[in-house]
Amino acid sequence: MDWVLLAVIAIGLSLAMSIAWSTQRVTGLSGWIDTIWSLAVGVGGAAAALVAVGNFERRVVVLLIIGTWALRLGSHIGLRTRGSVEDPRYKKLMEEWGGSAASRLFLFLQIQAVAAFVLVLAVYLAASNNAPFPRLIDALSLIVAVVALAGEAISDRQLARFRKSPEAKTGICETGLWRYSRHPNYFFEWLFWCCWPLFALSVSTWSWLSLLAPLLMYWLLVNVSGIPPLEEHMLRSRGLKFRALQARVNAFFPGPRKSDSSYQGKQP
């Protein structure tokens, strides 16, 4: 483990989230926070891949994968944020925090920097793997990464197309991948981080730490900053329509649609 490199990356992530805090305070748009966070993780992961001492071919693949992820997600969120209104999740937090919103947001973003470090650590461990490349598990890792990147891009494109339609004002997206999961973009984001433990798998003492990335991402998306605040907002804005969707479509893992007749039977 290159502790000096990891310390430099940790400091860089903290500085990046400080910049994200300043950007939000100036613009009033919290979408820039997630844009900067995505790019910061990408830069940290790229630095780890370049400096790690693992197999060269695997390091190149790791660099390409994390770079593709960061550029796609960062540009997607950035384009969506430009000229938009405040993110409802952050808006609710700021309202709850009241007069201490500025200081509490800064602390909140430093916690995000810690989460980013856990993800970059998984990339570093993958790039540090000295096992011959490619192995069968490397092929599986690459398949997982490609499927995840494609799935998230398709989900985001389908949602963006829906938001431009007349139905978006009062309806809910149930087209394409959104027919089988209420949050397919979150699912594929989690799946992406599952590729790193596979790339990192070796006899190294530290390789098991790469499992923290998908575990952390699942916890954040399903229980903390992903699904809960977004669905709370959807319930406020769409009411019974969204409750009906909850009855027939899985929240996270894509699966067969369920009949909502049982829910409809409970309607007054």
**C-alpha dist (Å) from residue 142 to 74, 89, 145, 146, 216:** 21, 33, 5, 6, 21
Domain boundaries, the chain: 3-256
Mean pLDDT, residues 12-30 = 93
Contact 95, 190 (CB under 8 A): no
Quick one: 226 exposed, middle or buried, by C-beta within 10 A (0-12, 13-18, 19+)?
buried
Distance, CA of 256 to CA of 3 (rounded, Å): 46
Residue range 115-155, pLDDT digits in tens:
999 999 999 999 999 999 999 999 999 999 999 999 999 99
pLDDT band (50, 70, 90) for residue 267: very low
Distance, CA of 160 to CA of 150 (rounded, Å): 15
Question: Which residue type sits at 180?
Answer: Y
Q: In terms of pLDDT, which residue wins out, 98 or 118?
A: 118
Query: Would you tell me the crossing angle of helices 136-163 and 184-193 to the nearest 10 degrees?
Result: 160
Beta-carbon count within 10 A of 52 CB: 24
Cα–Cα–Cα angle for 220, 184, 256, nearest 5°? 120
Distance, CA of 176 to CA of 180 (rounded, Å): 8
pLDDT band (50, 70, 90) for residue 265: very low
Question: Which residue type sits at 67?
Answer: G
pLDDT at residue number 171: 86
* The pair of three-digit structure tokens given for residue 227, joined into one six-digit string: 């699904």
Distance, CA of 252 to CA of 262 (rounded, Å): 21
Question: Does this model's pTM top 0.85?
Answer: yes
pLDDT band (50, 70, 90) for residue 260: low
pLDDT, the chain, mean: 91
Helices (H) and strands (E) in the chain, counts: 12, 0
Mean pLDDT, residues 220-232 = 91
Distance, CA of 239 to CA of 172 (rounded, Å): 11
Residue range 176-197, pLDDT digits in tens:
999 999 999 999 999 999 999 9
